[in-house]
A and B are shown apart, each in its own frame.
Chain A
Amino acid sequence: MIKPLQETVLLHVNGKEHLLDVEVSELLLDVLRDRLGLTGSKKGCETGECGACTVLLDGRPVNSCLVLALDAVGYEITTIEGLSPVDGPLNPVQQAFVDFGAIQCGYCSPGMIMSVTALLAENSAPDDEDIKKAISGHLCRCGSYVKIMDAVRYLSTVRQDENMKMTVELEKRER
């Protein structure tokens, strides 16, 4: 049984379908960057330690440098480009990173933002420990961790306030 080095795959990326011929050994990160032009996901250590290549598979953060493109079939893949429209406003996580200056060179930012997005999806008001755990798989060589923590803490507080407002609203309605 000899199969070609290439296979045709259907990848769901940021809500769009892409039919692509990929090499069997090609990594998701390379396909995203080199074939789809989605260069927001960065190539760093290539061994799953720096987190610069982090994307979401069905909402869960993974290192796209350690996932075969063939193995990403069937998942909804989300990259930093999928978080907000090209000409539209940034999403709240991106905006908070900008507002708090949580970016220096910016290389780690897309990965960090993907992990923070996943964190906030499962935990609406994370505490400092939760935040540190969520971004522990990311290296920022500029050392902007303090500002990153500030940005995510702010998001967490906003969520808490929103939750509070909703609870108050619900209580009012019930009355």
Chain B
Amino acid sequence: MLRKMRFSDYFKPADTRELFDYLHSYNGKTAFLAGGTDLFVQMKSGKREYDSLIDLKALNDMSYIREQANGGLAIGSLTNVRSLELSSLLLQKYPGLSTAASMLGSIQVRNRATIGGNLCNASPSADLISPLLALNADIKLLSEDGENIIPLVELFRGPGQTVLDGRILTEIIIPPLFNGNFENYFFEYYKCSPRQNMDLAVVGVSILLIFADENRQVIDRAAIALGAVAPVPMRAEAAELLLQGQRPSQELFARAAEQSAAACRPISDIRASAEYRRGMVRTMVLRGLLEACPC
């Protein structure tokens, strides 16, 4: 049963000074608000309760997608998911992230939901986490003491649990993948959900392969990230190692898919059984690898 949200204060700081002053002076239980598409649903269902919300949307420009001089990419945490979906830069150079953005919720949701919100909500099935894990993304965190950068993978402690502790995620940093050569690589996101649109991932798989050559004869580096099949989004490291430095073959890909399925720790819930999830990890990893390199 849904209930009316009841919080007594709403604060929209114009800069970080105002934000930290507010945090010092306010004694109640407070949460940061970005798009609200997850937070409000959780508050209405009674899962979370707060006395006040701090709306981050007026803080200095945290909505951008910028190529970096070093060949990497920086994305402001308040960039909405629709902007990611429509970005031609992402479509060209980071297709897995672009696909994941286009599969998150509906257009209405994507117009409000932000990349930072999707990460900080820390759902194991969050669509944007798995492609960013495959890209070895870092995140910039802001506290009163200043900024620090940590690997995205270290953000998550469990379903809905993060290490943030009052800090704000301000930026997502994607390191340069390789010498800026976007020809020799494959990057895609695969989502398994009962409904084609407007559904949570039962399994989400990101496959990133960097080849040593244009003919895709040898795999230089591989990243396989899995969503919704463990308490936190994870990488299938054993499978990645198996692929590295190898020539693509059906047999190799089948073993990597098997390794990925063995590494995940899915649960059974109303959406799918653990067995089904594990089976789909095997199928989807294999599908992705074969798409990267038909053999």
Contacts and interface: CB of A to CB of B under 8 A. Distances in A.
A97 to B, nearest CB: 19
Interface in A69-87: 70-71
Interface string A81-116: 000000000000000000000000000000000010
Contact of B198 (A49, A118, A134): A49
B36 interface: yes
A70 B10 contact: yes
A46 B42 CA distance: 11
A68 interface: yes
B82 A24 contact: no
Contacts of A71: 33, 36, 55, 57
Contacts, number: 88
Interface string B146-170: 0000000000000000000000000
Interface stretch (B1-9, B232-240, B267-275): B1-9
Contacts of A25: 4-8, 10
A66 B106 contact: no
Given A25-B6, A25-B7, A61-B111, A68 B36 contact: yes
Interface string B5-40: 111111110000000001001100000010011001
Given A66-B41, A67-B36, A137 B10 contact: no
Given A60-B111, A137-B109, A46 B197 contact: no
| Chain A residues touching B, range | 20 to 34
B20 to A, nearest CB: 13
Contact of A133 (B2, B4, B197): B197
A14 to B, nearest CB: 19
Contact of A1 (B4, B22, B37, B55): B22
Interface residues of B, number: 33
A24 B33 CA distance: 13
A51 B108 contact: yes
A68 B6 CA distance: 12
A65 to B, nearest CB: 8
Contacts of A62: 108, 111-112
A133 B108 CA distance: 11
B221 interface: no
A5 interface: yes
A47 interface: yes
Given A1-B22, A47-B2, A63 B108 contact: yes
Contacts of A48: 37, 40-41, 105-106, 108-109
B212 interface: no
B89 interface: no
Contacts of B4: 25
A54 B108 contact: yes
A104 B196 CA distance: 24
A55 B289 CA distance: 41
5 contacts: A3-B11, A5-B8, A57-B111, A67-B36, A137-B108
Given A25-B6, A137-B109, 11 more contacts: A24-B10, A48-B37, A48-B105, A48-B108, A54-B108, A63-B112, A67-B36, A67-B112, A70-B55, A136-B198, A137-B105
| 9 nearest A-B residue pairs (beta carbon) | A137-B106, A136-B197, A24-B10, A25-B5, A63-B108, A47-B41, A60-B111, A137-B108, A61-B108
